[in-house]
A and B are shown apart, each in its own frame.
Chain A
Amino acid sequence: MTLNPLANPKGIKLLCELCQKPAFIQCTKCRVTYYCGVEHQKADWLGIHEKICQNLIPLRQSAPFLPSEEERQSRERQLQTKKRTMIDLTRTTGQKLLFEGKHEQAVPAAMQSLRFAIDVHGLASIELVPSYLILGEASIGLGRLEQAEEYLAQAQWTVLKTPECSNAIKSKLYRNLGLLYAAKGDYDDALRQLANDIYHASEEFGTHDIRTSGGYYHMGNVFFRQGRMDVADTLYRQVTDIWYTHLYNIVKVRTRTPPTPKGVGPLIVEMFDEQEDTLDEAQEAEAVQVLNSVYDMREHQTSRQPEDMARVCHALAMLYYVLTDISKAKEFGRKAVVASEGNPDDTLSRSIIEFMKNCDRV
């Protein structure tokens, strides 16, 4: 629906949702969102607006006349809770888009989450940091390093001013800073930041957790780019081992479930699923990305050890098994069998063969 800025009521300026320029069109579904043109409307729609269109209506309408103080307060409270849910919703959407590699689309979602967070928590709150981090990561992904630095510096400042800030947030912040410096080619600083990331993640989750492994992986990448292959090699090995153990446990739990008749089956499987270690969406995406890139690296490596290769292949096979992509799982399983041939470590090859049998059964 088109608008003419000159036709707006006096003192009211309608601005584009994305670029804050005078708006010329309006979203016809919610009628509270304005854009400067079709392009921005489309970008916003793909990024976040599709999901929050209807939720925006009560938040942006002007307050109705409420005669009593209680009513006004209860409306205020309702708005607050709604905004909080909006923060969560926009943030997870942004995160997911980032892991899928869609940095462009993640920006509107992150901006929305930041707006709501500022609205609810104020400017200097630690709650803003995750939004800044998403924005920063998206900017790094888009190659806008200056901008990323702005966001991350803001996040860092907030973290520094909040001593009781959790290690998980710190770890994320330092990981993003490390990525930023790595992208700028400042490897020493990048290593320093990633080291901080690993330290904080270890404090929170332990040294051998999949949430810590990201730090090792990025560090390995930096060493790889620096040409220090021996260090990078051990780091990649550590990353592979962490994922391997984690996936192995998941697969072990799943294959242990006895095959049950179809009528009762799904229920029981669900019950088991609740107990085992699981991967959430973001972790799945991370696993796919990390393991595949390690696999590529190993494939191009001239002097690789067969055990490393076998381990990566086995981990990938298990990952695809967990993601119920059986054909890919079998493919990597076969590669693992080939790689483990002539390898003295019997337990590894035995577990691979056992796993292949399980695959065939499905």
Chain B
Amino acid sequence: MAAAHTLPPIQGAKRGGNTGLIGSMKHSQPVQFAPAPPKGPPSGRLKPLQKKKIIDKDPAFSQPVLTKRQTTAYRNSYKHNLCVDMLQNGYHLSFCELFALIRRQEESRQQAGPESLTWSMSLLKDQHEKLDVLKLHLTRAEIAQRKGDFQEVYRARFELARYFQSAGDKWLADHFFETCLDTSNLVTNDGGKMQAEGYCNVALAQEENAEYYNAAEQFEAYYNLANQNKDWTTADGISFYTDACIHLARIYTTIGERLEQEDLDLMLEYLTKAYNSAKESHKQELEGEAAYRLGLAADNAGNSETALTHLNTYLEICRSFDDKEGIGKACDAIAKTFARQGRVEESIEYLKQFVTVAEKSGQEHAYSKACHNLGNIYNTLGKYDEATKYFDKAYNLSRSMGEVSSINVNRVQYGVAMAHKMLSGVGGHIVANHLPALERLIEWKSSRVDDFDKPFPEPKAETPKPPTPEPSQKENTNASATSEQQEPQEEDGEATREATETSMADTETTAQD
């Protein structure tokens, strides 16, 4: 075995390859233990020595000699140097994580293809500042992990997550929130407080990504933890428990609203859950809003009893807060539910409340809406005097607000109500079929003044009053087609009668006709 201690120089080998070992060979050559490679580039050891001599002699070359590290820093990419730096100090877990993150981004970019948005975004590996931050905190976390101090690990990762959240790198923030949760599972000595925080953060991230069901699950875990320890409070002084309830209520509401088109029952279920969570949070506003939403949904689903109870709770909560707008909304919704049930008196009562509340609080929009609704109900009931009164109010209000669509709607409705009101008089006059009645009809045709209520000069002409309600009631019940035919005329008459109205409104009405 000792024979191989003397390795042959490669010079001989080079020629020996072709022509056997028959070649020029220096016999006198001393035995080389370290065969230098033949010709070609110098072997790295000799050249620096020669250079050094030159450097010493020539002041022009008296630049500092670069270390190996400096040359590699110049030669390799920033990511490469950073990784090598981490590995050299033994932070291999940080390296693995960073490497995996960079690779994940590259892969998703490849998948998205060159035409996608992500293609033109700058990659993580080219953002040196972010890489530095990653390195700093990851190594911090790894040191702590070696010591078994998982709270510190959690803090480091959480900081990273916050940093990337503020920097707008959603996927990185998500990743670190998730690892935060994983770490918090290992923290044992604080009773799960960090775990609860972790669940909350992951859930928020998922909510932002529109993964609502997963987010709801995480929030539930958060809620369960918080439920067992109600003395935990966040930095803002809110207890974890309340916080969890608020989040749960919100996420359930979101899910419920998204379900609206597909499945009413499921939606109701989720909204009920949201309501319960809101109730538990002891935040009255939240509870009220949840109740209102639930009430509306129940009403939509045809379940008016539950709708009424929930809307009433909302109404009470609003009253306790003196929230005018809320009261108005509640009254409106309750009135609608009653109307659907066919209980008109209650409906009218609530609508009147709505009107008074809206009038007091000076919310013109709500006021106009309330008047409109009330007018509608009276209209269907056949109480045209009230109907015209409220439509008149609604019309004026919407005109003062200048909303074209509501002006138009209210104007038409106002006209319809007026027409209904006048119909009985006109019908009576036509049926009466004697001269004064005919004269009055003609007069009305020319001047559009509503004089039908006045008694006829001759007492005998008063005969055909009884049959008059019949046609008018018919008109009420069947479609408004006939009433619409009359409506422009009535409108005209109205316009002339109220000569005090602004000329602008007049031009508008004529333009519409």
Do A and B share a complex? Answer: yes
Give chain B nearest CB distance to A44 CB in angstroms: 8
Q: Cβ of B44: which chain A residues have Cβ within 8 Å of it?
A: 153-154, 156-157
Contact present for B84 and A235 (CB under 8 Å)? no
Bound complex: CA A223 to CA B92 (Å):
12
Which size bracket describes the interface of B in this complex?
A: 35 or more
Q: Cβ of A207: which chain B residues have Cβ within 8 Å of it?
A: 95-96, 99-100
Bound complex: CA A150 to CA B7 (Å):
13
Chain B 78-115 interface 0/1 with A at a Cβ cutoff of 8 Å (1 = within)? 00100111111110110110011001000000000000
Task: Kindly name the residue among A34, A192, A206, A208 whose own CB sees the greatest number of chain B CB atoms within 10 A.
Answer: A192
- Flag whether B64 is at the interface (Cβ < 8 A): no
Contact present for B39 and A123 (CB under 8 Å)? yes
| A104 with B4, Cβ < 8 A, contacts A20-B9, A115-B14, A199-B84 known | yes
Contact present for A223 and B1 (CB under 8 Å)? no
Contact present for B41 and A20 (CB under 8 Å)? no
Q: Cβ of A40: which chain B residues have Cβ within 8 Å of it?
A: 3-4
Q: Tell me the B12-51 residues at the A interface (CB within 8 Å).
A: 12-14, 16-25, 27, 29, 31, 33-41, 43-45
Bound complex: CA A63 to CA B419 (Å):
123
- Flag whether B53 is at the interface (Cβ < 8 A): no
| A161 with B41, Cβ < 8 A, contacts A32-B20, A223-B90 known | yes
Q: Cβ of B39: which chain A residues have Cβ within 8 Å of it?
A: 123
- Within 8 Å by CB of B4, from A13, A43, A60, A124, lies A43
- Within 8 Å by CB of A123, from B20, B38, B68, lies B38
Q: Tell me the A216-238 residues at the B interface (CB within 8 Å).
A: 216, 219, 223, 228, 230-231, 234-235, 238
Contact present for A107 and B41 (CB under 8 Å)? no
Contact present for B92 and A235 (CB under 8 Å)? yes
| A234 with B83, Cβ < 8 A, contacts A17-B21, A32-B20, A150-B43 known | no
- Within 8 Å by CB of A19, from B6, B69, B84, lies B6
Contact present for B92 and A196 (CB under 8 Å)? no
Contact present for B4 and A107 (CB under 8 Å)? yes
Contact present for B4 and A157 (CB under 8 Å)? no
- Within 8 Å by CB of B8, from A22, A111, A219, lies A111
Interface of A is mostly: helix
Contact present for A114 and B10 (CB under 8 Å)? yes
- Flag whether A339 is at the interface (Cβ < 8 A): no
Give chain A nearest CB distance to B442 CB in angstroms: 99
* Number of chain A residues whose Cβ lies closer than 8 Å to a Cβ of chain B: 69
- Within 8 Å by CB of A199, from B2, B17, B87, B147, lies B87
Give chain B nearest CB distance to A55 CB in angstroms: 13
Q: Cβ of B2: which chain A residues have Cβ within 8 Å of it?
A: 39
Contact present for A231 and B22 (CB under 8 Å)? no
Contact present for B14 and A62 (CB under 8 Å)? no
- Within 8 Å by CB of A150, from B3, B27, B36, B146, lies B36
Q: Tell me the B146-171 residues at the A interface (CB within 8 Å).
A: 146-147
Q: Cβ of B100: which chain A residues have Cβ within 8 Å of it?
A: 207
Contact present for B6 and A18 (CB under 8 Å)? yes
Contact present for B25 and A202 (CB under 8 Å)? no
Q: Tell me the A257-295 residues at the B interface (CB within 8 Å).
A: none
Bound complex: CA A15 to CA B25 (Å):
8
| A198 with B34, Cβ < 8 A, contacts A19-B6, A156-B44, A157-B43 known | no
Bound complex: CA A6 to CA B92 (Å):
63
Give chain A nearest CB distance to B188 CB in angstroms: 12
Rank and list the top 10 A-B pairs by shortest CB-CB distance, nearest first.
A195-B87, A119-B17, A231-B90, A39-B3, A153-B44, A115-B13, A43-B3, A60-B20, A20-B12, A123-B40
- 7 extra interchain contacts, Cβ-Cβ under 8 A, other than A153-B44, A230-B147? A13-B25, A20-B29, A40-B3, A111-B13, A123-B40, A154-B44, A195-B86
Supply 16 A–B pairs (Cβ within 8 Å), ascending by A: A15-B25, A16-B8, A17-B21, A19-B6, A62-B19, A115-B10, A118-B38, A147-B34, A150-B37, A153-B45, A195-B84, A196-B84, A207-B99, A228-B90, A230-B146, A235-B90
